[in-house]
Amino acid sequence: MNHLTVGQRAPLNNLAIDDTAPITLKFTRQSPIEMDISCFALDAAGKLINDDYMVFYNQPTSPCGQIKLTHCESKPTANKGIQAEFEVNLSKLAANIDSLFFVLSADTPLNQIQSLEIGIWQQSQKAQAEYQAADFAQQQASMLMQLYRKSGVWRVSNVAQGFNGGLAAIVQHFGGDVEEGNSTAAEATVTPVQTKLSLEKVMLDKAPKLVNLAKKATISLEKRQLQQLTAKVALVLDASGSMNRQYKKGRVQEVVNRILPLAVSFDDDQALDCWAFARDPQYLGEIGLSNYDGFIDNAHGGWRKWALGPRINNEAEVMKAVTEFYQKDGLDVPIYVLFISDGGVNDNRGITRVMTEAAKLPIFWQFVGLGGRGYGILKKLDDMAGRVIDNCDFFELDDLDDISEEALYENMLEEFPMWLKEAKQLGIVTGGN
């Protein structure tokens, strides 16, 4: 049986769970207080499909019949007992259901709970997560566990994050309706933010060549409610010898063009920081609307003249350089790093060490494999244990022409919003709105 630590994520098939067959989740607790477990079916934007897709004691079956609360016991108990039991059939859920979130709630602080266990069963028990009183703070709700799709594969995340405002605030957070007069809901307040200029308008004024990219980026940003986010953006470019073809064909310049709309949207300076690396890293400076065009061929004499030492891979060294750069800069807002590599990764231990330490910082790493192979640890970082939070994601492309710009932005932003929420709840991110 697999033990899921807090923050751990894994594909269900890695846990010997067949996502085409029904799954049972059993919540066992020992508690002197009344408590409830609810399941929220969410879309790709993290919003409740509709109010009928909140499955709880008063609404035990989803409209589709594929999410069922088959047992519920909210009363206190002096001994361990089954609190709730859900049966889900992931393969029969509608395509617009992107994830299931299982939430714990009570009318009093959750740190009074003595113990809680979640077991995932399929004929036999396949996985278990365990929590003690010390794992719960003064909040009256906690987002415990998530089943979610990624690249067509169902995965599990042991989130275990407290939520201020109780169950009503979580309902509102997921876009559900709460009855007026509910005092708990009244505690959940939203701080208004100053509306930014339209990304499309900024590009039309300053970089008309990128207007179409801006339109497509805006769709993904709005879908994930990131259009008002303040963050910094970094680009890290593999410049080892095997990447020469990508530079000559203009693919790397195209990467610059495609990420710039995100930087313009997120960053007050409307620019991104750029590094290149081979054996040695080199900071290439900022890329903005005034210098993005031809940046790869012009910056520091052009890509062939960058001071990178022998053109061999050394990912760990540039990761350290990026981390130290932002530590000196103050870490006052979240940072999104797009890291391009064509593979040949060999320092798995060094990369693991850097990424484990970097998980404590407000930095999210989006790795993209471009036209290569041998990505090593980069493909496995998403499921790497030992970090306070999952701080990275990976996808690969044979060629930029193989994917539409819309799909590229969807991939680039797939896990960033989830990390952002969890990092805020852990206090790793304190700025950025």
Q: pLDDT digit string (tens) for 45-77? A: 888 999 899 999 889 999 999 999 999 987 777
pLDDT band at 188 (very low <50, low <70, confident <90, very high): very low
Q: Tell me what pLDDT residue 433 has.
A: 64
User: Average pLDDT, stretch 327-352?
Assistant: 86
E strands in 14-112: 23-31, 36-42, 54-55, 67-72, 77-88, 99-105
Structural domains of the chain, ranges and CATH numbers in brackets: 2-187 (2.60.60.30), 199-425 (3.40.50.410)
Is the separation of the CB atoms in 251 and 408 below 8 Å?
Answer: no
Residues 6+ apart with CB under 8 A from 221: 199, 227, 262, 265, 413
Find the helix or strand (DSSP H, E) in which 170 lies: helix 166-173
Residues 6+ apart with CB under 8 A from 250: none
Range of weakest confidence among 144-153, 182-191, 283-292:
182-191
Q: At what angle do helices 199-206 and 211-223 cross, to 10 degrees?
A: 160
Segment 10-27 mean pLDDT? 93
Which residue is listed with tokens 């900022």?
286
pLDDT of residue 6: 75
Torsion sign, CA atoms 162, 164, 165, 170 = negative
pLDDT at 145: 92
Dist. CA 3–CA 15, nearest whole Å: 10
pLDDT for res 196:
57
Q: In terms of DSSP bridges, do strands 271-277 and 232-238 run parallel, antiparallel, or are they unpaired?
A: parallel
Q: Could you tell me if 227 and 196 are in contact, meaning their C-beta atoms sit under 8 angstroms apart? A: yes
Candidate from 80-94, 148-162, 225-239, 271-285 with smallest mean pLDDT: 148-162
pTM of the model: 0.59
Residue 33 has pLDDT above 50, yes or no: yes
Residue 337 neighbours by CB distance under 10 Å:
24
| Tokens matching residue 34 | 């009344």
